[in-house]
């Protein structure tokens, strides 16, 4: 579906939903001084056009036993399309991997990994990540504290 230019109302709806996706259409309509039907239709179109990919709940990682966050940089042995695709496919299957980005620079990928503790990370590294083919180097960095963590894009 072709996307259209967003107007101020669409942008306001997106800002509100990024702050709190649990808002009802009625609450959004009240906030924007629009009808519930208008808000409902605009949200439907924003989803249809791909502006809203999904609506999720953000959990407290410590309360769900994912207190250790690691950022692991991965360098592969070769860079053929098949090797890159295989790595992406395999690493995506690991529930500990929260994000995987192909990068420019020295390393090929950076992963955000969430585990309960260092023992769980060690198990993940040894029994999952290190078993993948074509890995040359993995360099991991562990989060000591979290100063800023947001999911909303400035629009």
The partner residues of 109 in beta bridges, in order of sequence, read 74, 102
CA atoms within 13 A on the CB side of 90: 14
Backbone angles phi, psi at 46, to 5 degrees: -65, -35
Are 31 and 103 within 8 A, CB to CB? no
Contact predicate 106/113, CB 8 Å: no
Closest to 138 measured CA to CA, from 119, 113, 114: 113
Residue with tokens 């999904």: 54
Q: What is the pLDDT of residue 1?
A: 45
**Domains contained in the chain, CATH given:** 8-49 (1.10.10.10), 61-142 (3.30.70.920)
* Predicted confidence (pLDDT) per residue in 97-155, tens digit: 999 999 999 999 999 999 999 999 999 999 999 999 999 999 999 999 999 999 999 99
pLDDT in tens, 67-86: 999 999 999 999 999 999 99
| 58 three-state secondary structure | coil
């Amino acid at each position: 579906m072709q996307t259209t230019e967003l107007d101020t109302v669409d942008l306001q709806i997106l800002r509100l939903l990024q702050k709190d996706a649990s808002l009802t259409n009625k609450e959004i309509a009240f906030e924007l001084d629009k009808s519930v039907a208008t808000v409902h239709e605009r949200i439907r179109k924003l989803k249809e056009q791909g502006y809203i990919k999904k609506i999720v709940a953000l959990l407290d990682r410590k309360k769900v036993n994912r207190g250790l966050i690691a950022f692991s940089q991965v360098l592969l042995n070769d860079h053929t399309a098949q090797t890159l695709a295989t790595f992406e496919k395999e690493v995506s299957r690991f529930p500990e991997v929260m994000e995987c980005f192909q990068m420019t620079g020295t390393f090929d990928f950076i992963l955000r990994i969430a585990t309960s503790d260092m023992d769980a990370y060690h198990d993940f590294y040894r029994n999952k990540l290190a078993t993948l083919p074509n890995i040359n180097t993995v360099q991991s960095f562990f989060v000591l504290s979290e100063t800023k963590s947001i999911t909303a894009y400035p629009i």
